[in-house]
Amino acid sequence: MNTIMKKALAINGGKPVRTKLFPAYLTIGEEEKEAVNRVLDSGILSRYLGVWGDDFYGGPEVQAFEKEWAAYFGVKHAIAVNSATTGLQAALGAVGVSAGDEVIVSPYTMSASAVAPLWYGATPVFADIEQDYLCLDPRSVEERITKKTKAVVVVDLFGQPYDRDALRAIAKKHRLTIVEDAAQAPGAKHKGAYAGTLGDIGVFSLNYHKHIHTGEGGVVVTDNDALAERIRLIRNHAESVVEKKGVADLVNMVGSNFRMTEIGATIGRAQLLKLEGLNEKRIHNANYLARHLVVPGISFAPARPGSTHVYYQQALFYDEKKVGVSRDVFIRAVKAELPETALREGHGPLIGGGYVKPLYLLPLFQKRAFLGGQTLSERRYERGLCPVAEDMHMKVLITHEFMHSFMKKRDLDDVIAAFEKVYKHRSELTP
């Protein structure tokens, strides 16, 4: 008589560790509601005009938000925009990136930072990432520099500040501008200085799943007066303003509407007051998981010495040889043990193998389908271009959002239990 042994893992029909949704990451409260109502009662939802005059710089909420953001991060200028994507475009435009230039970018991040050079006919050049901290590898950056290189777009990936000291030394040596994509790292620090202020221009995101948000939105910061003014011009129809304003350098002075509304700005003002407390909880939760989630073959990516990591996501490294099953099979089993997160239904449990496909493998770069059919340099975007990024994505990296600020100890313990259960019963995952 054949006996069928009952399987333990949920992916094989066993009982999952948890079915109740994880708590939502919900930072909007009464403060934001009161602020929005105040703006609605004022009747001023926006006060931008795309011509030179008193309203060129926006309404009272936008200007107040910019002053408060600049004061918080210790910079001379903060420029509110409608997204970090447009903020990156404005930043590179202000730097003077033009056709024929090259901009070194990361292959392992949200696509906006790598695509931004294309708006000006410049060529994105991908450098590899660090094996441990996952930001741009300074050695790889220097190897990619040519006479055409104009700027470097660095990314503070997952909330980890980039290697400021090494990359600033390289930039100074080669006279390059550093644009810092700090979308995932508001409040992170390196040697006491905030992420976003570690380069020449910094760009923050206020998208709905970031640390703080206005639904959509972003902020660009700099200490450079000239760059700040050019970013403001690009934000708001530069082409209509430069004559009356007396702007002589017309490179990239084709502006757009990258403007933030008064409602977005007033929400941003309320959210900024919450940033420190939200980050403290993220760091606490990430540290708790790192201490208590102990599974052979799985380790936590370290924080850079001298830096404060604020964990937009938490990264882990997976060793298939030690675990005995592939990373993707293991993670599918962990996902089966856990529920979705409230307000993120339809996304599945917020954990996955890898992060994003290395950007140069996207059809945009593989088929060179750039804006207006433009042909850039003959640079090729082949597999193997950035081996560390590819290895991380295909085999090694695990990312999750379970450390967010509203997760409690019992929620984190369920995450730990799911990993431990899958590891204990991993023989069910092998042929």
Residue 262, pLDDT above cutoff 90 = yes
In whole angstroms, what is the distance from residue 217 CA to residue 82 CA?
4
Task: Specify the fold of 30-272.
Answer: Aspartate Aminotransferase; domain 2 (3.40.640)
As a whole number, mean pLDDT of residues 390-412 equals 98
**Domain ranges, ordered by start, for the chain:** 30-272, 275-429
Scanning the structure block, which residue is given the tokens 């900024």? 272
Which helix or strand (DSSP H or E) is residue 216 part of? none
Q: What pTM does this model have?
A: 0.96
Which helix or strand (DSSP H or E) is residue 5 part of? none
pLDDT band at 380 (very low <50, low <70, confident <90, very high): confident
Number of H-type helices and E-type strands within the chain: 15, 14
Residue 2, pLDDT above cutoff 60 = no
Q: How far is CA 92 from CA 44, 117, 220, 251, 356, in A?
A: 31, 7, 11, 11, 23
Question: pLDDT by residue (tens digit) across 227-260?
Answer: 999 999 999 999 999 999 999 999 999 999 999 9
Task: Determine whether 302 is exposed, middle or buried from the number of CB atoms within 10 Å of its CB (0-12, 13-18, 19+).
Answer: middle
In whole angstroms, what is the distance from residue 409 CA to residue 45 CA?
41
pLDDT at 384 (0 to 100) = 96
Task: Determine whether 136 is exposed, middle or buried from the number of CB atoms within 10 Å of its CB (0-12, 13-18, 19+).
Answer: buried
Q: Which residues contact 311 (CB under 8 A, 6 or more apart)?
A: 158, 159, 282, 283, 285, 286, 403
Residue 1, pLDDT above cutoff 90 = no
In angstroms and rounded to an integer, the radius of gyration of the C-alpha atoms of the chain is 23
pLDDT band at 6 (very low <50, low <70, confident <90, very high): confident
Question: pLDDT by residue (tens digit) across 286-305?
Answer: 999 999 999 999 999 999 99
The three-state secondary structure class of 136 is strand
pLDDT at 378 (0 to 100) = 67
Instruction: Decide if domain 275-429 falls under CATH 3.90.1150.10.
Output: yes
Q: Which residues contact 354 (CB under 8 A, 6 or more apart)?
A: 392, 393, 394, 397, 399
As a whole number, mean pLDDT of residues 95-119 equals 96
3-state helix, strand and coil shares in percent for the chain, rounded to the nearest 5: 40, 15, 45
Question: pLDDT by residue (tens digit) across 58-85?
Answer: 999 999 999 999 999 999 999 999 999 9
Residues found in the chain: 431
Q: Minimum mean pLDDT among 92-96, 131-135, 375-379: which range?
A: 375-379
Residues 73 and 220: beta-carbon distance below 8 Å: no
**Structure tokens, 8:** 């333990």
